[in-house]
Chains A and B, each alone.
Chain A
Amino acid sequence: MKSGSNLEKVLEAGHFAFTGELGPPRGANVEEVREKAEFLKGKVDAVNITDNQTAMVRMSSWAASIILVQEGLEPNFQMVCRDRNRLAMQADILGAAAHGIRNMLCLSGDHQKFGDHPQAKGVFDIDSMQLIAMVKKMRDEGQFLSGAELNEAPKLFIGAAANPFADPFEWRVHRLAKKIQAGVDFIQTQCIYNMDKFREWVKQANDMGLTEKVYILAGVTPMKSVGMAKYMKSKVPGMDVPDEVIQRLQGAEKGKVAEEGIKMACEQIEEFKEMKGVAGVHLMAIEWEHKVPEIAERAGVLPRPKV
């Protein structure tokens, strides 16, 4: 065991993992975190806690992660490279581990231009690939990036993102290979809507033997409305929403669009369960935490394994 996290144990035991997501509040509201967490209890193996998602300032990821630990849920602490230099990153990694956080997701982060402080200085001292390698070095070699000894290594299960849909498509599987080379343990993908492209990417990863070296969790976000689908298609960089998805939502009866979205998500999850090279699903039900129990139930991923 690298970290002893629940997520690691579930995956190691060969179960199909199911993880959720929680966005910290735009303020110091602890109750909001607890309320959202309540919906996820017993329904997921770990919960991603976003880090100033879309470059909007929120309660820090590690702080909200600690609230989750107190609630008996397992957080997946996200860290972006945009907001911290290597000193702050290593300090927060140690602090997170000290508070019982056992999973970490290493991301570049959306550009600050998208957020509520567009003129902020983007740090990007190291990139997400280098962050993965730094956490691995801290964990496995017990050393800071500088090479100095650590007084107790942080035990963390190291995650990263992969976007099979951003171009150049041919490069994406090589980028996955690079993340494995850097030391990643698990991958969460961008929200998947273009299933053909995703199948192709996973096949490439299988052919290159990559899926034997890393656990891939397929990203699923149920569509709530036609508007959301159109917005994601045209406004979210690196998102691939085929027209069929929009048409299917448009074809749903009045008042039943969200239902259709959930149905589509469940169908996807069914396929992922059978797909060689996919080890689980990461469900990003953004501001829809209360729907997670229903989706988990209908997707047939309950009860969650006790490991």
Chain B
Amino acid sequence: MIVAKRKPFEEIKDMIKDYKKVLNVGCGTCVAVCLAGGEKEVAVLNSELEMARKLDNNPIELGAKTIERQCDREYLEALDDMVKDYDAIISMACGVGIQFLAERYPEKPVFPGVDTTGMSVNQAVGWYEERCRSCGQCVLGVTGGICPVTMCAKGLYNGPCGGTNNGNCEISDEQPCAWFMIYERLEKQGRLDNILEFKPPVEWNDQVPRTLIQSGYKKPEEAA
């Protein structure tokens, strides 16, 4: 899932300092699961903001609404009647959701309530680890299901480098070396030949905004 963490309070407070009526919109999917931007986090942020603004003698009126998914038009629609009553919006969705919201209400200032940190797995409650950078050319099939783009600190395609240290990455004793793990897993599966061949430079295709249309689908006429 997409993982995010709440922005520092002072930063949020500063972004909305000029607005008196602000709608805080949570997202009920990824960011709710990772405890950053769901219904509960919206309520917590609102009460913190209310209190702080009261102390500043600059009271604020805050609305709260958490929708199923901010990256989906179908759910955003539920906000259409609400937003006109507010001067600005805080979105606690991931970067994708925040933008989709801002796009739907182009006349309203929209502010991010979270910092989006990546696509991660849930190791335990409150503990997430990044696993994919959406490079667009997945190599997991040859690397034993371990992503060198994300998990190797240098994103090497022909690792490991010379810094591997007792199975850890040169950057830290707490970060396992991706290529050491790749080696171990492939060795156990008898598939080391996968990484014996030189892997030529990647043709990065994430350098421009990407659009995906699944086969069998096309852009609707009016959106094209």
Contact = CB atoms under 8 A, between A and B. Distances in A.
Contact of A238 (B170, B171, B204): B170
Interface string B144-164: 000000000111111111111
B144 to A, nearest CB: 13
Interface stretch (B37-45, B108-116, B126-134, B194-202): B194-202
B198 A110 contact: no
A161 B161 CA distance: 10
A238 B163 contact: yes
Given A108-B154, A113-B171, A122-B154, A237 B163 contact: yes
A86 B204 CA distance: 11
B165 A166 contact: yes
Contacts of B165: 166-167, 237-238
Contacts of A145: 201
Nearest to A122: B154
Contacts, number: 92
Contacts of B118: none
B204 A166 contact: no
Nearest to A181: B198
B160 A86 contact: no
Contact of B162 (A161, A178, A182): A161
Contacts of A237: 163-165, 170
B184 interface: yes
A228 B29 CA distance: 53
Contact of A168 (B158, B171, B180, B198): B180
A130 B157 contact: yes
Given A111-B153, A122-B154, A171 B160 contact: yes
Interface string A60-104: 000000000000000000000110001000000000000000000
Given A130-B200, A166-B161, A237-B165, 4 more contacts: A166-B163, A166-B165, A168-B160, A238-B163
Interface of B: 153-167, 170-171, 180, 183-184, 192, 196-202, 204
User: Which 10 pairs between the two chains have the least Cβ-Cβ distance?
Assistant: A163-B162, A237-B170, A129-B158, A237-B163, A237-B165, A166-B164, A127-B156, A126-B201, A130-B201, A108-B161
24 contacts: A82-B154, A108-B156, A108-B161, A111-B153, A113-B171, A124-B155, A125-B204, A126-B202, A127-B155, A127-B157, A127-B158, A130-B199, A130-B200, A166-B165, A167-B164, A167-B167, A167-B180, A168-B183, A175-B160, A181-B197, A182-B158, A182-B198, A237-B163, A238-B162
